[in-house]
Amino acid sequence: MTTLSRRAAVQSLLTGSAAFALPHDTAAQQAPAAPPAFRAAHAPKPLPFDPAKLKGISEKLIRSHHENNYTGAVGALNVIEKRLAAMVNDKDTPGYVYADLKREELVRTGSIVLHETYFANLGGDGKAGGDILTALKTEFGSFEAWEAEFKKTAQGLAGGSGWVILAHNFHTGALHNYWAWDHMHNAPFSRPLLALDMYEHAYHMDYGSAAAKYIDAFMTNLHWEEVNRRFVTAQKMAALLKG
């Protein structure tokens, strides 16, 4: 193997690109741009509220959660998309190896969607109102009944990992609290309206294993105006889907 071909092989392994400079090129060739499906250009969204103003949830915890867990998922998804773009046309990559990376893509995608939903439904006064309040009373008999079921579902995830998601199910047309073991569990064909992160990183710094106290603090800081906005939008989407 010549010096050039060895260098090119190493470069190909490191960058995932099949293109590299030929001996007589006077300018370095650039790899072709990845298609939109593998754009690897995701960027984290800033916190939509002042984390110092939450009640019962420390600024230190929120910033750590946002900067490490959420932002880390964004960076990981960009890396994964680059690797997928490099591997998809590699005839030597077995399907099961590619599938493992696709699973990681789904994990990070779910993490990003749910974390952005979670942070955006914080920063309020915890007082429900609007169409969403009326709908919850209709679906569950009372707002208190909905809240009790939501919190009991969350308590079932204490000490482990997962999410509790209030969602508008477009298939059934109903509002429902869903239990999610990880970032990939979600009711198909549903719009998350409110998400509660029950991974220990979301509360352990402030509450240790006292997850129930964290759940109460979360409810106190809910931004119901945002939840209501999502619900109204979901209703419009449901109407369009019915044709």
Q: How would residue 30 be classed by pLDDT, with cut points 50, 70 and 90?
A: low
Cα 55-201-159 angle, rounded to 5 deg: 100
Model pLDDT, residue 18 = 35
Query: What mean pLDDT comes out for the span 32-49?
Result: 90
- Given a contact cutoff of 8 angstroms between Cβ atoms, the answer to whether 162 and 185 are in contact is yes
How much of the chain, in percent, has pLDDT values that exceed 70? 86
Q: Which residue has the higher pLDDT, 153 or 30?
A: 153
Write down all domains in the chain, each with its CATH number in brackets.
130-242 (3.55.40.20)
Q: Which residue has the tokens 């010096």?
A: 3
Query: 10 Å Cβ neighbour count for 14?
Result: 8
For the chain, give the mean pLDDT.
88
Phi-psi region of 141 (alpha: psi -120 to 50; beta: other; left: phi over 0): left
Q: Which residue has the tokens 């044709």?
A: 243
Phi-psi region of 174 (alpha: psi -120 to 50; beta: other; left: phi over 0): beta
The pTM of the full predicted model, rounded to 2 decimals, is 0.85
Residue 111 pLDDT exceeds 60: yes
Q: How would residue 160 be classed by pLDDT, with cut points 50, 70 and 90?
A: confident
Phi-psi region of 149 (alpha: psi -120 to 50; beta: other; left: phi over 0): alpha
Residues 122-137: tens digit of each pLDDT: 999 999 999 999 999 9
Residues 191-234: tens digit of each pLDDT: 999 999 999 999 999 999 999 999 999 999 999 999 999 999 99
Query: What mean pLDDT comes out for the span 113-125?
Result: 98
**Burial zone of 182 (CB within 10 Å; 0-12 exposed, 13-18 middle, 19+ buried):** middle
User: 33-37, 163-167, 172-176: lowest mean pLDDT where?
Assistant: 33-37
Residues 53-91: tens digit of each pLDDT: 999 999 999 999 999 999 999 999 999 999 999 999 899
Model pLDDT, residue 185 = 86
Which residues, in sequence order, are bridge partners of residue 222? 122
Residue 12 pLDDT exceeds 80: no
